[in-house]
């Protein structure tokens, strides 16, 4: 089983490249394939631990996530807003943002990794990082280089003349701002004994962020890098001076790539089109907020379901496909009760991660989660079935268990509140 665990981790490390292979040669979505594999693997892991008479760890946050998923099914079924599209209920489950993460978190909590295995994970993650940066630089000059063209059609509301996605169109539209920051955190922490590598990772990350020309990606990466920098260097005046010098150096680096700062500021910061201020992105959020205020009182406790109704469409207008503020979208769709379940899951997950991070004095994954929650002020769905999150969380749990007892490398710590199943 340990050998299979290693292959499963490597599968997630190669997630975007696997997405390219599956879509290009088989016409399959990586989320579909890995979603099925994760469900099967979670069940196999459960059966193995039963057979081996090992404890099965089911933290309370997983229970709340599963309860929330069941609630979403109930609300959508009752209100007839279950949007399965043309591919049916099975595909709906496999790409559901709240179903497959249940199995993924179960695997993370119960997979038994040897800490030495991360000697393999680290260079593979570095290669993925380098490929991501190189591809996005090429895309700045050749906009559709190594992009999933079906992604462009499906996400036609995005302006691809402004935003770049590197290799992450083979995953999802949000992977560029969710997965990549977690990979940055993983690499920066695991190269803590090599200042040159940390500096290179930081500069490559900033280069990547600005080339995406997506504000939430830039904010997420800056939050993570700022934390990692002060964690590694402590809070000293000399370090603040160095930090103040970095924007100057970064400006020089971007200039070497002929980065158009004027266009970036006008179109992505000021949202200026020609001589006029368009404010399309900010306007979408304002429209979403106004629409939410109008429709939320209709069913504030139990929600209105996830499908956009005719009434909501009247307030959103013809061009906005959804309420473009994640927290308000969840409140509208699943109500106060549903959000109680979901945000209890989020709180319990954060508490568990914080406990481990505090013990190790390594808050990189915790800060990554905070960046994810900040990003969802502008996104729609919370993406937890994510390869970057998976790699970071598995790494954190493995290090934590090893720190508890480096000889036996135990799996469980009674200080955590959780449900345990005794085989």
Mean pLDDT, range 336-352, rounded to an integer: 95
- 351-402, pLDDT tens digit by residue? 999 999 999 888 889 988 998 898 888 787 888 999 999 999 999 998 888 8
Residue 304 CB neighbour total at 10 angstroms = 23
> Is 195 within a domain?
yes
pLDDT bracket for residue 58 (50, 70, 90): very high
Q: What is the pLDDT of residue 130?
A: 95
> Is 348 within a domain?
yes
> Is 77 within a domain?
yes
- 347-364, pLDDT tens digit by residue? 999 999 999 999 988 888
Mean pLDDT, range 256-285, rounded to an integer: 61
> Is 281 within a domain?
no
Q: What is the pLDDT of residue 363?
A: 85
> Is 314 within a domain?
no
Q: What is the pLDDT of residue 211?
A: 87
Torsion of CA 97, 99, 100, 103, to 10 degrees: 140
- 170-226, pLDDT tens digit by residue? 998 788 888 999 999 899 888 888 888 988 998 899 889 888 888 888 888 888 888
Domains identified in the chain, total number: 1
Residue 357's domain comprises 2-275+319-421
Check: CB of residue 262 under 8 Å from CB of residue 301: no
- 221-238, pLDDT tens digit by residue? 888 888 887 776 665 656
> Measured at the alpha carbon of residue 325, what is the angle toward residues 324 and 328, in degrees to the nearest 5?
120
Q: What is the pLDDT of residue 291?
A: 82
pTM: 0.84
Q: What is the pLDDT of residue 411?
A: 46
Q: How many CA atoms lie within 13 A of 5 on its CB side?
A: 19
C-alpha distances in angstroms, 236 versus 231, 239, 243, 365?
11, 5, 11, 23
DSSP labels for 12-73? HHTHHHHHHHIIIII---HHHHHHHHHHHHHHHHHHHHHHTT--EEEEHHHHHHHHHHHHHH
* Strand 276-277, strand 418-421: pairing: unpaired
> Is 307 within a domain?
no
Cα–Cα dist 16/372, whole Å: 19
> Is 305 within a domain?
no
Q: What is the pLDDT of residue 234?
A: 61
> Is 292 within a domain?
no
Mean pLDDT, range 27-51, rounded to an integer: 91
Mean pLDDT for the chain overall: 81
């Amino acid at each position: 089983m340990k050998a299979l665990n290693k292959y499963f981790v490597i599968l997630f490390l190669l997630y975007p490249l696997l997405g390219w292979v599956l879509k290009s040669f088989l016409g399959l979505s990586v989320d579909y394939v890995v979603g099925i594999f994760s469900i099967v693997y979670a069940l196999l892991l459960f059966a193995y631990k039963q057979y081996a008479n090992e404890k099965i760890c089911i933290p309370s946050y997983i229970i709340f996530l599963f309860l929330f998923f069941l609630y979403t099914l109930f609300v959508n079924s009752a209100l007839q807003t279950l949007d399965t599209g043309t591919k049916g209920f099975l595909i709906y489950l496999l790409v559901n943002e709240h179903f497959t993460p249940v199995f993924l978190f179960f695997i993370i909590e119960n997979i038994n990794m040897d800490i030495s295995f991360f000697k393999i994970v680290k260079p593979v993650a570095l290669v993925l990082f380098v490929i991501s940066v190189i591809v996005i630089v090429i895309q700045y000059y050749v906009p559709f280089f190594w992009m999933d063209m079906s992604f462009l059609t499906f996400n036609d509301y995005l302006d691809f003349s402004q935003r770049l996605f590197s290799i992450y169109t083979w995953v999802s539209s949000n992977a560029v701002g969710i997965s990549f920051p977690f990979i940055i955190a993983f690499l920066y922490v695991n190269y803590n004994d090599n200042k040159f590598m940390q500096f290179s990772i930081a500069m490559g990350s900033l280069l990547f962020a600005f080339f995406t020309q997506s504000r939430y990606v830039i904010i997420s990466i800056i939050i993570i890098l700022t934390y990692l920098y002060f964690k590694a260097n402590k809070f000293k005046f000399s370090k603040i001076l160095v930090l103040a010098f970095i924007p100057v150096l970064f400006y020089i680096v971007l200039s070497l790539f002929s980065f158009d700062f004027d266009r970036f500021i006008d179109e992505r910061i000021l949202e200026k089109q020609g001589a006029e201020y368009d404010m399309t992105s900010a306007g979408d959020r304002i429209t979403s907020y106004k629409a939410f205020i109008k429709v939320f009182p209709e069913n504030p406790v139990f929600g209105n379901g996830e499908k956009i109704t005719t009434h909501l469409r009247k307030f959103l207008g013809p061009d906005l496909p959804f309420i473009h503020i994640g927290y308000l979208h969840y409140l509208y769709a699943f109500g106060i009760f549903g959000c109680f379940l979901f945000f209890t899951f989020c709180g319990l997950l954060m508490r568990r991660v914080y406990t481990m991070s505090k013990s190790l004095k390594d808050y990189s994954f915790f800060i990554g989660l905070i960046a994810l929650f900040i990003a969802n002020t502008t996104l729609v769905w919370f993406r937890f079935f994510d390869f970057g999150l998976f790699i970071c969380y598995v790494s954190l749990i493995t290090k934590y268990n090893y720190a508890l007892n480096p000889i036996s490398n135990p799996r469980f710590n009674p200080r955590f509140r959780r449900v345990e199943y005794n085989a």
